[in-house]
A = this chain, B = another copy of it.
Amino acid sequence: MNPNPYEYVEAHREAFVGELIEFLRIPSISTLSEYAGDVRRAATWLADHLASIGMQRVEVVETARHPIVYAEWLGAPGAPTVLIYGHYDVQPVDDPEGQWLSDPFEPDIRAGNLYARGATDDKGQVLTQIKAVQALLASGEMPVNVKFVIEGEEESGSTNLYPFVEQNAERLAADIVVVSDTGMKSLAEPSIVYGLRGLAYMEIEVRGPEHDLHSGSYGGVVHNPAQALVEILAQMHDDQGRVTVPGFYDRVAVVSAEERAELAKTPMTVERLRRETGAPAAWGETGYALHERTGIRPTLEINGLVSGWISEGTKTVLPAKALAKVSCRLVPDQDAQEIAALVSDFVRSITPPTVTSAVRLLHHGRWAVVDVSSPEMQAARDAYEFGFGKQPTLVREGGSVPIVGAFQSALHAPVILMGFGQQDDNLHGPNEKFALAGFAGGMKTAIKFYQIIGQRG
């Protein structure tokens, strides 16, 4: 007798956690070229794993950089087809102060959480989906057809996924796309993301002298590029927390009072923000609530700054150049390339003649908004209630999953952002975690979702 899928995941709980740990041990950092071999190793691990649970046509698709893992199971003719997206690459560690309490690539379980780089973003969520499909396959009552597209470049711009999706629209054809790469507020406050921001990630470089100079000999007569850079960057926000780049807000769509009222039901509070981040105070654009500043408003953030002497001790150098990494989070109807051009124009217009500047767009992606009134969204809400014991709220997330927009436009299929992370999972930071209860609840939710979708189909 085939097992009930819920009993199946319950019975295999420990084994599944063991497999996730194995997956997390591979340091598949896509943005650093020295990890290219590990990224490939993660792809191979994933492909082997998909084959082992009964997926078919498993393929490690070569690209110009990191491979895409594809797999399908089309044994339910007439039933709807679901395309499940995730990514197997992870963020860099970058931990100069040793804030990680355990090795980022030696997963550690503490108080019901699994700590590792990529735990929540996105290996834990990818495996939640794979294990749900495995349980359904094992039950002998697979309600839907499934296609997996798991990429290895989400953390470095999904450069090769876009053309892959466009060129394989037929092969990837689906009735619904499930993206598991977002979070809920918490396990006790389940929520479904229906809006994601777009991204324009740039590098601003200021150059002055041809090489580093002695700051005593030339300080005071050569414009220090580090100083010119800080002066440029300081002009990019006004004292109301607004971005000053001309035209930046021109295409921002007005959000209806109704939608703002709905979003206000689950506000971010100053207390919660301080508890989650340790920041001394809240900050941001006046005229908008905290959850609106990250949800419906665009931002411009400095992600990195480097110039001159950055090691211990001192060096009396006047640096030849200074570099900032700057990214904008975008909302409907802003266009990432247009925003990058506006930033570039603005930087050019305020660069003094004593230095030169250049703005390079490193990667970019579209914002996405999902129709909250669709039957798929209703199915998702019911599935979350089943999986986490409570009706989920609907939220807009500050982060970006640019591929969502690409799926919407290339496949003409509704997208559901089925996230199982939590707000405080510290993705991209030290001690990234994924709750084991989220893993279990996520599998339950996903199984239920596919069952509902299958019944309707």
Interface residues of A (CB under 8 A from B): 31-33, 91-92, 94, 99, 155-157, 183, 197, 199, 201, 208-224, 226-227, 229-231, 233-235, 237, 241, 268, 273, 277-285, 290, 293-294, 297, 299, 301-319, 322-325, 327, 329, 353-356, 362-363, 397-400, 423, 426-431
Contact = CB atoms under 8 A, between A and B. Distances in A.
A432 to B, nearest CB: 10
Contacts of A315: 31, 91-92, 94, 155, 303-304, 325, 428
Given A222-B273, A231-B237, A305-B310, 15 more contacts: A199-B216, A201-B316, A208-B280, A211-B430, A212-B428, A217-B397, A218-B273, A220-B241, A220-B285, A227-B302, A230-B305, A310-B310, A310-B323, A315-B325, A316-B327
Nearest to A197: B216
B311 A302 contact: no
A231 to B, nearest CB: 5
Given A221-B293, A234-B230, A278 B210 contact: yes
Given A222-B279, A312-B31, A428 B94 contact: no
A216 B397 contact: yes
Contacts of A231: 230, 234, 237
A363 B314 contact: yes
A323 B283 CA distance: 20
A314 B221 contact: no
A428 B214 contact: yes
Which of A273, A279, A285 has the most B CB atoms < 10 Å from its CB?
A: A279
A263 to B, nearest CB: 14
A430 B209 CA distance: 12
Given A226-B302, A279-B222, A283-B222, A314 B362 contact: yes
B220 A398 contact: yes
Contacts of A32: 311-313
A294 B220 contact: yes
Given A227-B302, A314-B31, A429-B212, A309 B92 contact: yes
A32 B309 CA distance: 12
Given A220-B299, A273-B222, A353-B280, A309 B304 contact: yes
Contact of A329 (B155, B216, B237, B317): B216
A31 B223 CA distance: 26
A82 B244 CA distance: 62
Contacts of A156: 313-314
A268 B221 contact: yes
A306 B303 contact: no
A201 to B, nearest CB: 5
Contacts of A428: 212-215, 315-317
A415 to B, nearest CB: 18
28 contacts: A32-B311, A32-B312, A94-B317, A209-B278, A210-B277, A211-B426, A212-B428, A214-B398, A215-B329, A217-B423, A217-B427, A220-B301, A222-B282, A223-B283, A224-B302, A226-B304, A227-B237, A227-B301, A231-B234, A233-B234, A234-B235, A280-B353, A281-B354, A304-B307, A305-B305, A305-B308, A314-B363, A316-B399
A215 B429 CA distance: 10
Contacts of A221: 268, 273, 282-284, 290, 293-294
Contacts of A199: 216, 316
B281 A353 contact: yes
Nearest to A276: B218
A76 to B, nearest CB: 36
Contacts of A356: 280
Contact of A216 (B215, B222, B310, B398): B398
Given A301-B318, A309-B303, A317-B94, A399 B280 contact: no
Interface centre among A32, A221, A284 (most CB of B within 10 A): A221
Contact of A277 (B218, B279, B294, B423): B218
Nearest to A308: B304
Contacts of A399: 214, 216-217, 316
A232 B92 CA distance: 29
A290 B218 CA distance: 9
A208 B429 CA distance: 14
